[in-house]
Structure formats: structure tokens, C-alpha cells
Homo-oligomer: A and B are copies of this chain.
Amino acid sequence: MKDREASLSMMKTMKNLAELAELVGGRLIGDGSVTVEGLADLESAGAAQLTFLTHEKNIDLLSHSQAAAAVVPISDRQYALPVIQVRDPNLAAAIIHNSLLAGPFQAQGVDPRAVVGQDCQIPAAVTIAPLAVLGKGVVLGQRVTLGPGVVVGDGVRIGDDSTLKANVTVERGTVIGCRVMIHAGAVIGSDGFGYATDQFGHHVKRPQVGVVQIDDDVEIGSNVCIDRATFGKTWVKRGAKIDNQVQIAHNVVIGEDSIIVAQVGISGSTTLGTGVVLGGQAGVAGHLTIGDRAMAAAKTGIHADVPAKAVVSGFPAISHPLWLRISSLIAKLPDLFKDVRELKKQVAELNRK
């Protein structure tokens, strides 16, 4: 498998430990001229690779690792291989790994089998795959990559260095920032789900004439759906990260640096603050405000506003510590019911006396 992966990885860059230590502001212990050409975990790192230690409990894995060097936490521990000591090895490993994988953008231009509508603005330095389809008046930034089967509607704007993977659909009027990554099968800008109901119980569609705006550095997972606004815009702000199969309804605002885990659903006109974290399969009702840095555990069902920094769980959502306590009490309900039956008997007996 390793050979395979190696052959697939085209843009391999070699860097030496001194450079990498400087990149992450770490303290180098050992030979700074040692070069590495990749990063891997403790089990799989090869002799030309860097590895990283996040938990002291894995120290044995490190001592058996074939890696050339390691990123490690700050401590007095001695290592048999060169190390870069940092406060947060996870973060440093991510930064180093990105730097080792980075290479110059290789523009392949617009494939002749792509379909490009009238009045598009497309710089030379882009990669538009075969069978991508662009509508009219699409404006692309520098170094944009559109995969096969991507469909971009009329008037869409996509900023520099953004990538849309295969079979992504972006409906007309959507505005996408720079360094945005959208994974395969995502649908951005479908109609919001809104109807008015007449006296016969038939649903009359409320036209959805707003747009979707995705700001810089957002990542959007596979098969995610983000609906256009009824009026105005649905808005995903800078740096938000959205996992697969998330559903974001019309007029929702996702705050900067928020983390939305897989299969979350957020109903219309709800606003998330900065740095909000929603666990997998959580659901948020419409027209709510979730405060900055609030967190919801997986499967939480949120029906009311959540204050900043609150941590909530359960359905309906309550504070996480209370939820933990209640969850353990619920498991004891059979005993409680028995106790109460017994008490009723004894009290009846006492009353009789």
C-alpha cells in the first residue's frame, strides 16, 4: 500500500528539520540537516518521514517507529531520534504536513470537453476538468479547480485558490470566497423549503430569490446541502468547517471558525456565532441564535437559543453536565419506581396505625 500511496503523491517536497522547527516555532533537538519528505503516524511512518507524538501513552510506539524524526510535546524526556519540541504536536504536525504536501499550482486550463457559457471570466491559471459545466457570466479567480461533473450556475463567483470536487452543484448567483474547498456531491444554492398553505391544504411554493455566500477558508463536505435564502442570503462565514451530509436551510448564518459535524441539520433563519461546535446528527430548530463558542454534543436537539460558551446535550437540549447526571438517573428509574411503590405501602401501613 505504501508504494501505491507514494506513487499517487505527486508534489512531494523535501525539507530539513531546522526549517520545519522554525516553521512551527519549535525547539529542535538533534541534527537539523536531516531531511524528511512526508509525515505519517507512529505506526506507518517510514525512514524518510517525520512522525508525531501527541500522547505520552504512545511513547512505546515512538520508540519502535522507523521515522527519521518526530514532533513531540515539550518535556525533559530524551529521545533516540531527532525531535522538534512544541506546545501542540497535533497542530505542528498539521502545519508541517501541509507544508510538505504544498507545491506550485499546476494549471491545466479549460478542458475542451468542459462546457463554458457566455460572458464568463476565467483566468489562464485554472483547472477546469472535462465535463464541468459553467453557466453564463461565471467569474473565476486565480488557480480555481473544478472537477469533472461540476455544475456552476449563471452568475456564480468563485474566489482564488478554491476547489470544487467532482459532481458538485452550485446554483446561480452563489458567491464563493478564496481557498474554499467543496467536496464531491455537495449542492450549494438549491431552493429553500418554504410554502404557504391554501384553504384546500395545498402548498404554494414561496419563491426563493436570495443567494448563498460562502466566505474564505470554508471547507464543505460531501453531499452537503446549503439552500439559498428566501430573500437576502444564506451565509457561511470565514473558516467554518462543515462535514459530510450536513443540511443548512435558507437564511441560516454559520459563524466564523464554526465546526459542523456530519449529518447535522440547521433549520431556516438560525444564526450561529463564532466558533460554534455542533456534534454529529445534532438538529437546530429555526429562527434561533446560538452564541459564540457554544457547543452541542452529538444528536442534540436544540429548540431554544443557546448562550455563548454553553455546552448542551440531549433532546430537548439541556446543559451537558445536567444531561450526564440525568442520563445516569434514567438508567435507575426501575429502582426508583420500586422504591416509591414500597414507600406507598409503608406509608399506608403507618397511616393505618
Contact yes or no, A262 B247, CB < 8 A: yes
Q: Does A190 contact B (CB under 8 A)?
A: yes
Q: Does A144 contact B (CB under 8 A)?
A: no
Residues of A within 8 A of B (CB-CB), count: 120
Chain A 231-269 interface mask (CB, 8 Å, partner B; 1/0):
111000001010111010100000001010111010100
Contact yes or no, B187 A184, CB < 8 A: yes
Cross-interface CB contact of A222 among B187, B196, B347, cutoff 8 Å:
B187
Contact yes or no, B155 A4, CB < 8 A: yes
Docked Cα-Cα span, A201 to B295, in Å, equals 14
Contact yes or no, B193 A169, CB < 8 A: no
Cross-interface CB contact of A190 among B97, B165, B171, B172, cutoff 8 Å:
B165
Contact yes or no, B221 A225, CB < 8 A: yes
Docked Cα-Cα span, A283 to B285, in Å, equals 17
Q: Does A23 contact B (CB under 8 A)?
A: no
Chain A residues close to B by CB (< 8 Å): 1, 4-5, 7-9, 38-41, 43-44, 88, 90-91, 93-95, 97-98, 101, 113, 115, 129-131, 133, 147-149, 151, 153-155, 165-167, 169, 171-173, 181, 183-185, 187, 190-191, 193, 195-198, 201-207, 209-211, 217, 219, 221-223, 225, 227, 230-233, 239, 241, 243-245, 247, 249, 257, 259, 261-263, 265, 267, 274-275, 280-281, 283, 285, 298-299, 301, 315-316, 318, 322, 325-327, 329-334, 336-337, 339-340, 343-344, 346-347, 350-351
Nearest residue, chain B, Cβ from A303: B298
Contact yes or no, B336 A239, CB < 8 A: no
